[in-house]
Amino acid sequence: MSVQLPNLIPPFRFTIVEENLFRGGYPKPRNIRFLKRLRLKTILSLIPDKIMPEMQQFCEQNNIKVLHLTVDKMKEDNIPLTYNKTLMALELMIDPNNHPLYLHCLDGADVTGLVVACLRKLQMWSNSSAMSEFARNLHSSVVTSEEFEFIENFKNFDVTIPMTLPLWLWGGQISFRKHATLRLKFLNPEMMTEEERELKDLKEKKEKEKEDYYKKRKNDLLDNLFDPNSPRHRSSPSIGTNGNNNSTNNTSATSTGTNANNTPQMLSTPRTDDEVFTMNTSSTHVASDKHKNDSDNAKDPYLVDVDVDVDGVMMDGLDQVEYMNRAVGNVSGNRFYAEDDDVLDNGDEYGADGARFTTEPISRTLEALALEGLTEF
Distances (CA, A) of 334 to 37, 60, 344, 377: 86, 80, 10, 16
What is 76-114 written as a DSSP string?
TTB----HHHHHHHHHHHT-GGG-SEEEE-SSSSHHHHH
Closest-CA residue to 52 (of 66, 41, 73):
66
Q: Are 131 and 63 in contact (CB under 8 A)?
A: no
CB under 8 Å to 54, separation ≥6 — which residues?
29, 32
Give the burial string for 56-86 (b: 16+ CB within 10 Å, else e). Answer: eebbeeeebeeeebebeebeeeebbbeeebb
Residues 276 and 284: their CA atoms lie apart, in Å, by: 12
Pair 366, 321: CB distance under 8 Å: yes
Counted residue by residue, the chain has a size of 377
CB distance 340 to 313 below 8 Å: no
Q: What is the set of active-site residues?
A: 105
| Residue 299 CB burial class (10 angstroms; 0-12, 13-18, ≥19) | exposed
